[in-house]
């Protein structure tokens, strides 16, 4: 009988359920599943500096953690695109951006602090980021669902046959989540 046990390598489901794992790129230890996020809409070509939400202006260019205005004509809000993961209760999320009409953008901003949209939405928008690991998502028609209690709105693509829509409807395997992390430079060491 061996006094030493071989340590079992954590599988994808174990890693996403809370086991610690080392990132192959940054070397940091990650624990469990985490969301990925885009800094700004892909249309944003400016610096990577954000202003406070309270400084929001509808003319010119503006970027905060939750709002973006480009040229006083294009209005964006930060949302989350949620994907179920097989075997897990929590969903994997992409923090991403969607356009809104000026009217719906203003409606969203007006209720932002209260977080109560009184049955508003869904609102039509255009998905405003390319997500690595999926067919092109930029400028895909989508629906924006405002959430209560200052939670970020959720997105659903209008095209039910798009690869990302299918992932949202049917879920993805834990191994696929690790592949997506790798596409963004946060995959586990082999």
pLDDT at 11: 74
Confidence of residue 57 (pLDDT cuts 50, 70, 90): very high
List beta partners, residue 91.
84
d(CA 154, CA 73): 23
**189 close to 181: Cβ distance less than 8 angstroms:** no
Judge contact between 123 and 141, C-beta under 8 A: no
> By C-alpha distance, which of 130, 164, 132, 158 is closest to 145?
158
Instruction: Find residue 101's DSSP bridge partners.
Output: none
Specify the number of domains making up the chain.
Answer: 1
User: Could you report how far apart the first and last alpha carbons of the chain are, in Å?
Assistant: 29
Q: Per-residue confidence at 1, pLDDT binned at 50, 70, 90?
A: very low
Q: Is residue 189 part of a domain?
A: no
Q: What is the mean pLDDT of residues 66-79?
A: 97
Domain that holds residue 126: 12-183
Length of the chain: 190
Within-domain flag for 84: yes
**Percent of the chain predicted with pLDDT > 70:** 88
Residue 117 contacts residue 104 (beta carbons within 8 Å): no
State yes or no: pLDDT of 56 exceeds 80. Answer: yes
């Amino acid at each position: 009988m061996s006094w030493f046990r071989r340590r079992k390598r954590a599988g994808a489901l174990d890693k996403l359920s809370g086991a610690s794992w080392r990132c192959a790129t940054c070397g940091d230890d990650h624990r469990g599943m985490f969301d990925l996020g885009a800094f700004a809409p892909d249309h944003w070509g400016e610096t990577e500096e954000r202003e406070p939400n309270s400084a929001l202006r509808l003319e010119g260019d503006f970027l905060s953690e939750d709002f973006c205005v480009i040229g006083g004509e294009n209005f964006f809000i930060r949302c989350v695109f949620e994907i179920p993961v097989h075997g897990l209760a929590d969903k994997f999320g992409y923090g991403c951006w969607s356009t809104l009409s000026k009217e719906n953008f203003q409606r969203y901003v007006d209720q932002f602090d209260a977080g109560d949209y009184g049955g508003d939405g869904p609102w039509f928008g255009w998905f405003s980021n390319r997500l690595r690991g999926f067919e092109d998502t930029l400028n895909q028609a989508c629906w924006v669902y405002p959430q209560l209690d200052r939670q970020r709105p959720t997105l659903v693509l209008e095209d039910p046959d798009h690869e990302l829509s299918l992932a949202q409807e049917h879920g993805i395997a834990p191994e696929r989540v690790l592949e997506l992390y790798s596409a963004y430079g946060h995959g586990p060491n082999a």
